[in-house]
């Protein structure tokens, strides 16, 4: 009864959060969730897999501002056969099929929405599927925990995984991704493994194999979870001979598992053969693993989606590994083998910070395993209630930072230490936080006053390229570089540690479409030594400061109003006599923007 109440409460909280986030409609707007899902309408409605013309036309009817994925470097990929391939495997789509079917029947019967695969009922159905798989995975996790822990500890661990980790984010803010599905399947794989070792029948072997196959079909890199059934219960090197004998004795059951595994992979092989003419085809093409340079430190501890930075409750799970010999020895060796392999594979990927997420996305899949050492940490406390405030604090932090992301106050994949510090615990945006986000520079924490003006570059009527814009004189930034000023320290008399406030007036015409924050003009400071070595490089976006009173991180649309873009930057070490400070506007994508007075001031 208590488990049902807990799971129902978590499901309801997920649903309320999904509605509040207003992200359900965006589930199929063109992100990874679209790529996983698009197999369904392409095969079941339009029968145009390999071409996708009808599917894309229906999609663009619902999302007219999205570009054709066949022309996107990260979208559909051309194959040697002249067709297009979806790089995402079929597993998520297969498991979403009941939700797709329910939405399709609703559209056909109700008649209020087109039965085109992309109208609102379909997006809601796929969003709800993420909640379903997350909660079902939590149910399987609880069942696993009960073999080794009390009901109270199992309930507490289940609640912490559901609400204190970024599983919550992928069930509410970015639904439709593979991670809740992978989490659910891995949780079930542990149950299936336990059942197979207890009773290694053909049926149990088949279930084990098909579960492992579905995991590979959802996220291929998660296939290393096979170490769980292979190393289950291994405690010492001397256990391996007995394990090999056991495998030999259960050859029929293992054969059934292998057959089921291959059957699960068959749809993917048939798809590859159809779209490329090959039984195996790498749909990711130019997106590769860099095995020689895994980004362990940044992936685990960095401020761009670093796992332990944005899901710090998992520190307790790592701590709990030292207590597993006391509580759950059968899973200790599998976890110790799986975890470093998973880190190595995940953080060798070219995009090791895994955009479109909060925290480290690949680690969500592993929470079905890591719930066990987390429970071991809880069980290791003198009294279980001692763990309650700690876990509650992590849950509040996780939910709060997810809310911050929804509000545009937090963006973990593009973060840095300065921004994390400035935005931690904040319910409103601020200029210092936005400056820290864009420049990576910690902004002054205490009050400063202007000491002197280092330089002012004003727009005058005598300037040959001046224009009237918004009632003021302005320079149009039609080229790549503008308003370049070089200040030598021989005349500036700056010392390392001095604060500079650099500002410029900016104007973006009303009606200009929103741009990516990577494509808008920036105000840049470039400190270099007398020998020409770069000492420090900092910059901020100009357009994000104009008519943005809430300091939303990605606001770039023009409003036709003048504003000031300003930030503080500290003079670096090594900036001595002969050093130079260059200040300029950099407009690499030729955004239509106009600038006014440029000022550099010393504050202290």
Give the residue-averaged pLDDT of 157-170. Answer: 97
Can you give the residue ranges of every domain in the chain?
Answer: 2-404, 446-603
CA distance 194 to 334: 13
Give the residue-averaged pLDDT of 440-446. Answer: 90
pLDDT score for 561: 85
Q: What is the pLDDT of residues 246-263, one digit of tens each?
A: 999 999 999 999 999 999
pLDDT score for 62: 93
Q: What is the pLDDT of residues 293-336, one digit of tens each?
A: 999 999 999 999 999 999 999 999 999 999 998 898 999 999 99
DSSP for 434-497?
HHHHHH-PPPPSS---EEEEEEEE---TT-TT-EEETTEEEEE--SSEEEEEEEEHHHH---TT
Where does the pLDDT of residue 548 fall: very low under 50, low under 70, confident under 90, or very high at 90 and above?
Answer: confident
Q: What is the mean pLDDT of the chain?
A: 92
CA distance 215 to 209: 10
CA distance 513 to 516: 10
CA distance 494 to 499: 9
CA distance 494 to 496: 7
pTM recorded for the entire structure:
0.93
pLDDT beyond 90 at 356: no
Out of 353-357, 456-460, 569-573, give the one with best mean pLDDT: 569-573
CA distance 451 to 97: 66
pLDDT beyond 90 at 458: no
Helix (H, G, I), strand (E, B) or coil at 84: strand
**pLDDT higher at 346 or 550:** 346
Buried b vs exposed e over 93-130: b needs ≥16 C-beta within 10 Å?
bbbbeebbeebbebbeeeeebebbbbbbbbbbbbbbbb
Where does the pLDDT of residue 519 fall: very low under 50, low under 70, confident under 90, or very high at 90 and above?
Answer: confident
Q: How many CA atoms does the CB half-sphere of 479 hold within 13 Å?
A: 7
Q: How many CA atoms does the CB half-sphere of 559 hold within 13 Å?
A: 14
- The reply to whether CATH 2.60.120.1310 applies to domain 446-603 is yes
Q: Considering only CA atoms, which of 516, 518, 226, 181 is closest in space to residue 361?
A: 181
CA triple 262-180-138, angle to 5 deg: 105
Of all residues in the chain, the percent with pLDDT exceeding 70 is 98
CA distance 60 to 77: 18
pLDDT beyond 70 at 362: yes
- Contact (CB, 8 A) for 132 and 92: no
pLDDT score for 366: 97
pLDDT score for 457: 85
CA distance 372 to 354: 25
Give the residue-averaged pLDDT of 99-121. Answer: 95
pLDDT score for 462: 64
pLDDT beyond 90 at 190: yes
CA distance 348 to 464: 52
pLDDT score for 514: 63
Q: Is 394 exposed, middle or buried (0-12, 13-18, 19+ CB in 10 A)?
A: buried
CA distance 373 to 330: 12
Q: Which two tokens stand for residue 466?
A: 């001046």
pLDDT score for 308: 97
- Contact (CB, 8 A) for 243 and 333: no
Find all residues with CB under 8 Å of 117, minimum gap 6, and list them: 40, 41, 44, 45, 46, 55, 58, 59, 100, 104
**Which three-class secondary structure string do you get for 222-269?**
HHHHHHHHHHCCCCCHHHHHHHHHHHHHCHHHHHHHHHHHHHHHHHHH
Of all residues in the chain, the percent with pLDDT exceeding 90 is 76
CA distance 120 to 147: 42
Where does the pLDDT of residue 556 fall: very low under 50, low under 70, confident under 90, or very high at 90 and above?
Answer: low
pLDDT score for 92: 97
Where does the pLDDT of residue 580 fall: very low under 50, low under 70, confident under 90, or very high at 90 and above?
Answer: very high
**pLDDT higher at 554 or 32:** 32
Give the residue-averaged pLDDT of 100-112. Answer: 95
Find all residues with CB under 8 Å of 324, minimum gap 6, and list them: 331, 332, 335, 372, 373, 376
Give the residue-averaged pLDDT of 97-120. Answer: 95
pLDDT score for 338: 97
pLDDT score for 482: 84
pLDDT beyond 90 at 467: no
């Amino acid at each position: 009864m208590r488990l049902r109440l807990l799971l129902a409460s978590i499901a309801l909280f997920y649903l309320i959060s999904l509605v509040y986030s207003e992200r359900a409609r965006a589930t199929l707007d063109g992100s990874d969730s679209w790529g996983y899902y698009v197999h369904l309408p392409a095969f079941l409605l339009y029968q145009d897999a390999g071409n996708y013309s009808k599917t894309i036309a229906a999609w663009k009817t619902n999302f007219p501002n999205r570009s054709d994925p066949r022309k996107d470097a990260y979208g559909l990929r051309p194959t040697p056969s002249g067709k297009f391939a979806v790089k995402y495997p079929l597993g998520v789509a297969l498991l979403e099929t009941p939700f797709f079917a329910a939405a399709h029947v609703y559209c056909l019967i109700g008649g209020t929405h087109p039965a085109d695969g992309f109208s609102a009922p379909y997006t809601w159905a796929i969003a709800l599927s993420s909640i379903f798989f997350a909660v079902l995975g939590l149910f399987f996790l609880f069942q696993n925990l009960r073999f080794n822990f009390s009901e109270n500890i199992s309930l507490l661990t289940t609640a912490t995984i559901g609400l204190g980790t970024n599983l919550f984010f992928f069930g509410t803010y970015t639904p439709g991704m593979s991670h809740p599905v992978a989490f659910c399947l891995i949780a079930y794989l542990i149950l299936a493994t336990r059942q197979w070792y207890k009773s290694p029948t053909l049926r149990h072997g088949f279930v084990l194999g098909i579960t492992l196959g579905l995991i590979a079909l959802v996220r291929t890199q998660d296939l290393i979870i096979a170490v769980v059934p292979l190393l289950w219960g291994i405690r010492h090197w001397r256990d391996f001979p007995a394990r090999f004998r056991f495998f030999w004795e259960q050859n029929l059951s293992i054969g059934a598992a292998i057959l089921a595994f291959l059957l699960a992979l068959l749809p993917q092989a048939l798809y590859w053969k159809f779209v490329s003419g090959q039984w195996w085809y790498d749909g990711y093409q130019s997106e590769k693993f860099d095995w020689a340079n895994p980004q362990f430190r940044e992936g685990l501890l960095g401020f761009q989606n670093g796992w332990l930075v944005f899901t710090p409750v998992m520190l307790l799970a790592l701590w709990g590994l030292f207590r597993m010999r006391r509580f759950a020895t059968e899973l200790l060796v599998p976890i110790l083998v799986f975890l470093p392999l998973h880190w190595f594979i995940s953080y060798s990927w070219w995009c090791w910070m895994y955009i479109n997420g909060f925290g480290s996305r690949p680690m969500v899949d592993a929470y079905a395993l890591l719930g066990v050492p987390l429970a071991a940490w809880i069980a290791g406390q003198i009294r279980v209630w001692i763990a309650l405030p700690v876990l509650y604090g992590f849950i509040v932090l996780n939910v709060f930072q997810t809310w911050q992301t929804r509000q545009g106050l937090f963006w973990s994949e593009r973060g840095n230490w300065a921004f994390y510090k400035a935005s931690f615990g904040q319910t409103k945006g601020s200029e210092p936080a936005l400056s820290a986000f864009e420049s990576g520079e910690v902004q002054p924490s205490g009050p400063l006053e202007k000491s002197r003006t280092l330089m002012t570059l004003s727009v005058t009527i005598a300037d040959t390229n001046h224009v009237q814009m918004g009632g003021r004189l302005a320079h149009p930034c039609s080229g790549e570089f503008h308003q370049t000023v070089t200040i030598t320290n021989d005349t500036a008399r700056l010392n390392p540690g001095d604060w500079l406030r650099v500002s410029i007036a900016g104007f973006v015409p009303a009606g200009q479409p929103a741009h990516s924050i990577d494509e808008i003009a920036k105000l840049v400071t470039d400190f270099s030594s007398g020998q020409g070595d770069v000492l420090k490089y900092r910059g901020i976006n100009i357009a994000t400061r104009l008519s943005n009173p809430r300091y939303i991180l990605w606001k770039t649309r023009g409003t036709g109003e003048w504003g000031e873009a300003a930030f503080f930057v500290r003079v670096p070490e090594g900036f001595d006599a002969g050093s130079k400070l260059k200040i300029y506007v950099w407009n690499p994508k030729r955004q239509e923007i106009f600038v006014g007075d440029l000022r550099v001031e010393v504050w202290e």
